[in-house]
Amino acid sequence: MNIDNWLSKKNVVIVLSILFLFITFPRIIFPDLDHGDEYSDAEVLSSGENFVRFGFIKTRFLQMHEPHLDKPENLYTHYPGLPDIINGFLRKVFKTDSLYFFRGISLLFAYLGIVLWYFFIKRVTGSNLISFLCVVFYLFNPMFIFGADSMHQLAYSDFLRSLILFTFVLMVGSSDRKKREKFLILLWSLLFIQTWIGLDCIIYLFLFFSLYRFFMKRPGKPISITALLVLGSAPVAGFLLHLLQNAWYFGSLSLAFHDLKDSFLKRTIGGYELPQGLNFLAWFKYVILRNFSLVFYFDALVVLLSIFFAFLLYSKLSDKSREEIKTLFRLFIILIICGISWYVFFPSHSLAHAFVNFLPRHLVPAAAIGFTIFTYIIYSFLKENNLWNNIYLRTSWMAIVCVIILTGVFKSELPITPDKIERAQDFKVFTRCLWKLREISGEKDTLGVNYFRFPFIRYYTHRHCSAVFDKDSLEKLPTLPHYFIFIPYNDQKSQELFKFLQEKYAPLWQCNSSRFPTIFFKLKDT
């Protein structure tokens, strides 16, 4: 059986579609905000609702997460808001607030993104098998699964990244001047849109453009410095438009500039996000090492042994196979450098968000290629030494591929095991309690909760929400929240807060969720 011949573009797309439906089906069944970047997803949903309630003009096309437009700080200015605008647009056009619908739109973009990733690899390597392995390892990576149905920027941004990479290699591989100019215009437009989706891919892409010029020896004409400068004007134009948008909101260009400048400094050299200042060892441990472990799955010993084994087999391959792998390895190095670029240029931001899994996805392309290099070396060795027809060796190779795939799946948040299904169903218990609070409370009532990742609580209740973790902080508020959702923790602050709540609040009910065993309180004399 010649795998490479069987893996035509048509067959790959069919297989890819089936596999994608397999891994994303649970997302359709369980669309609630209990997985992925639920914090950002909830904020997008809240912004989308507010765009419909108050209009795009009144909110200056800026994200608005709180349910009321009575406070200036309710509008968020530090990050592009196109995902929020898209959600508002979808709500207006389709007259829906269905999570199933919004998740489905994101999954569509995620699917198109991995298809484009396949065509990108196929264009670079020319190999059906290499392209297929790259896209399968990409698809089953837990960090891809993490953001596949994200309503924030993850699915949109990753789709655009694949589209931009594919368009770029088409451009540099063409010798036709008019075609290259058309590709350049398309790239500029896509980069401008990417700037409005998310900023963390911009450095990634321009590093790729630059490194590809020097590392990859491919047919065609390399991108010129002039073309790079032209493309560089796209994110500049996007930033300037966002600056003008903020100036529209602040009423001053100077205020808008200083607002973005302060945000930039806090994300680079540190600030409120890093109370102890930027610590290199902490950054390396919690950002670099953690992110690599998330996308490469296995511990250091397994990885080192795999590299050693692959090197031994590589030394015995033919020149043709070694050249194919060299091309793949060059691409791997480029994508590793691109993947860590945000962490290097924005260390404060990456360390402050070290325990949130939206940043490791930048290493998913490199991880997919890394697994492909390992498995393709073994495959080439078996083929060249007439060992592929041995049923035991062929099955062993397929078993290695399956182990990598299944390890990624089981490290993901997909509810495919009984405990994960139970976890997803348990979350529905908590959401019903939140809906109940929404029914009995007034629109202007405020809500306190001792849980940091509270935006999904705000979204389900449609109430102004504040995170309060101790008695002193609660007492310092101008007015006590009308309701409080208390999650018991085994520490002194939590116990003191609970006693205070018992004094000032009346208990309403206890939620029977195992993950959120919360007690709902109402302020006395209200």
Model pLDDT, residue 2: 63
Model confidence band, residue 275 (pLDDT cutoffs 50, 70, 90):
very low
Model pLDDT, residue 358: 82
Model pLDDT, residue 273: 47
Please give the angle made by the CA atoms of 456, 459 and 461, to the nearest 5 degrees: 110
Whole-angstrom distance, CA of residue 464 vs CA of residue 73 = 13
Q: Detail the DSSP E strand segments found in 127-208.
A: none
Q: For the residues of 193-221, what is the DSSP string, one character each? A: HHHHH-STTHHHHHHHHHHHHHH---SS-
Per-residue pLDDT for 272 more than 50?
no
The answer to whether 452 and 459 have CB atoms below 8 angstroms apart is no
Whole-angstrom distance, CA of residue 423 vs CA of residue 321 = 46
**CB within 8 A of 221, min separation 6: which ones?**
172, 174, 175, 180
Per-residue pLDDT for 274 more than 70?
no
Using CA atoms, how far residue 207 sits from 147, 223, 228, 338, 340, in Å, is 23, 13, 11, 6, 11
| Residue corresponding to tokens 């007015």 | 479
The answer to whether 312 and 381 have CB atoms below 8 angstroms apart is no
Query: For 139-166, what is the mean pLDDT?
Result: 95
Model pLDDT, residue 222: 78
Model confidence band, residue 73 (pLDDT cutoffs 50, 70, 90):
low
Question: Half-sphere exposure (CA, 13 Å, Cβ side) for 330?
Answer: 16
Model pLDDT, residue 526: 60
Model confidence band, residue 76 (pLDDT cutoffs 50, 70, 90):
confident
Query: For 449-466, what is the mean pLDDT?
Result: 92
Per-residue pLDDT tens over the stretch 332-365: 999 999 999 999 888 888 887 877 888 899 999 9
Per-residue pLDDT for 79 more than 90?
no
Which candidate, 113, 110, 105, 125, places its Cα nearest to that of 169?
125
Model pLDDT, residue 7: 75
Indicate the range of 77-86, 97-106, 214-223, 438-447 predicted with least confidence.
Answer: 214-223
Higher pLDDT, 213 or 274: 213
Mean per-residue pLDDT over the chain, rounded: 90
Per-residue pLDDT for 58 more than 60?
yes
Model confidence band, residue 469 (pLDDT cutoffs 50, 70, 90):
very high
Per-residue pLDDT tens over the stretch 97-137: 999 999 999 999 999 999 999 999 999 998 899 999 999 99
Query: For 223-249, what is the mean pLDDT?
Result: 93
Model pLDDT, residue 9: 78
Model pLDDT, residue 1: 53
Per-residue pLDDT for 317 more than 80?
yes
Number of H helices and number of E strands within the chain? 24, 7
Per-residue pLDDT for 456 more than 90?
yes
Q: In the chain, where are the structural domains located?
A: 3-410, 419-523
Strands lying side by side in the sheet with 519-523 = 464-467, 446-449, 483-486, 519-523, 505-510
**CB within 8 A of 57, min separation 6: which ones?**
none
- Among 158-167, 276-285, 293-302, 389-398, the range with the most confident prediction by mean pLDDT is 158-167
The answer to whether 252 and 260 have CB atoms below 8 angstroms apart is no
Beta 505-510 vs 519-523: how paired, if at all? antiparallel
- SS3 category, 375: helix
Share of the chain above pLDDT 90, in %: 67
Model confidence band, residue 518 (pLDDT cutoffs 50, 70, 90):
very high
Higher pLDDT, 434 or 388: 434
Per-residue pLDDT for 370 more than 70?
yes
Model confidence band, residue 149 (pLDDT cutoffs 50, 70, 90):
very high
Whole-angstrom distance, CA of residue 169 vs CA of residue 164 = 9
Distance of CA 140 to the CA centre of its chain: 14
Which candidate, 92, 38, 47, 55, places its Cα nearest to that of 74?
47
Whole-angstrom distance, CA of residue 318 vs CA of residue 135 = 25
**CB within 8 A of 15, min separation 6: which ones?**
132
**CB within 8 A of 129, min separation 6: which ones?**
3, 4, 7, 376, 379
User: Which structure tokens are listed for 26?
Assistant: 């649970």
